[in-house]
Structure 1
Amino acid sequence: MTDLTDRLLDMTVGIVANYVSSNRLNADEIGGFIKSVHQSLATAGTAIVEDKAAKTLRDAEVRKLITPQGIRSLIDGRTFKSLRRHIGAHGYTPESYREAFGLPVDFPMVAAVYSAERSASAKAMGLGAGGRQGKKAKVQQKPKLKRRQARER
């Protein structure tokens, strides 16, 4: 433990000395600066626990994000017909996006109008008209006879 403490003090002294040599600092500010550098180095690499209550959005805020024409992104505030590609470009999956911004599990990724347009165009092309069809039963045919067997009959 003392080895870690010694290394921490050495790094603190090095950082403070380099900073003070090239920047002006009042004598009364140096103590606070040393303390903040030491504390920053001591807590580096530890997980930061965020308050879940502050992270979740209220229902009214979530409703404002969803309009029939588009869905507003919480990343940059722009409106999109489909959020999938946008959030994927920022390293999110739909599940991780919902979790990161405290959205409900049923938060849509596609705008209602866009979804209806896609559905209508797919139906116009004949997609999904028949639904799932089971495998057709094969009709039993008589086994084909070889030529010799056919002549002998």
Structure 2
Amino acid sequence: MAEETPAADVLGLTAEIVAAHVSNNPVSLADLPNLIQEVYRTLASVGQPEAKPQPERPQPAVPVKKSITPEYLICLEDGKKLKMLKRHLQTSYNLTPDQYRERWSLPPDYPMVAPNYAKHRSSLAKKIGLGTKPRGRPARGVRRETPAAAAKTV
């Protein structure tokens, strides 16, 4: 099946096809050379493996350097300004942060939250005491010994 057609056969077929086309359709003299070339190229490429075009690298909606501002991040997929990127990527594009970073060749430490928003959330968490060890009551069922009771047992 994958026989190579000699150039003479392709040329003969080209002449037949062009003659049949010209006899049934009006073609100007200026368009005739282009028609012959196109038919010849098409016939010559029959049976040849198609050259697969390399997938184009997607172009970001904004330059990567401009995608991080203090107040918001700009999504490289669609150009939207967001404070938190992770949920937007998951719901709109079904991408994880790692897939997003890989797709756009971003460093592993590329933020998914706007810098000022992260600082604000951090200060709120510190204000209510998150991230500190509890200083209040011991856990249920565990009794702490008082220093006086510990001294009696020794």
Q: Which residue of 2 aligns with 1:83?
A: 85
Report if the CA contact (8 A) 1:82-1:111 is conserved: yes
RMSD of aligned Cα (Å): 4.2
How far has the Cα of 1:29 moved from its partner?
A: 6.8
Q: 2:98 aligns with which of 69, 74, 95?
A: 95
Equivalent residue letter for 1:78: K
Q: CA deviation at 1:111?
A: 0.5
Distance 1:111 1:47, change over 3 A: same
- Tell me the amino acid that sits aligned with residue 114 of structure 2: A
Find the counterpart in structure 2 of residue 63 from structure 1. 65
Please state how far the C-alpha of 1:82 moved relative to its aligned partner: 0.7
TM-score by length of 2: 0.50
Q: Give every structure 1 segment of 4 or more consecutive aligned residues whose post-TM-superposition deviation is greater than 6 Å.
A: 25-31
Which has the larger Rg? 2
Q: Deviations over 1:34-72 (max 9, x none)?
A: 967x78xx549x683557xxx798xxx433111110111
- Number of aligned residue pairs: give it: 109
Q: Which residue of 2 aligns with 1:12?
A: none
The gaps in structure 1 that reach 5 residues or longer are 3-24, 140-153
Q: Which has the higher contact order (CA 8 A, sep 6+)?
A: 1
Contact 2:64 2:76 in 1 (8 A): no
What are the residue-to-residue correspondences of 1:39-58 with 2, within 5 Å? Answer: 43=50, 48=54
Distance 1:122 1:106 in 2: 22
Q: Distance in 1 between matches of 2:50 and 2:101?
A: 29
Distance between the aligned counterparts of 2:115 and 2:74, measured in 1? 13
Say if 2:73 and 2:84, in contact at 8 Å, map to a contact too: yes
Structure 2 portions without partners, runs of 5+: 3-26, 144-154
Query: Where in structure 2 are the equivalents of 1:22-33 lying within 5 Å?
Result: 32=38
TM-score by length of 1: 0.50
Question: Helix, strand or coil for the counterpart of 1:102?
Answer: coil
Distance 1:73 1:95 in 2: 14
Greater share of helix: 1
Conservation of the 8 A alpha-carbon contact between 2:71 and 2:114: yes
The yes-or-no answer on 1:112 pairing with 2:115 is yes
Amino acid at match of 1:84: K
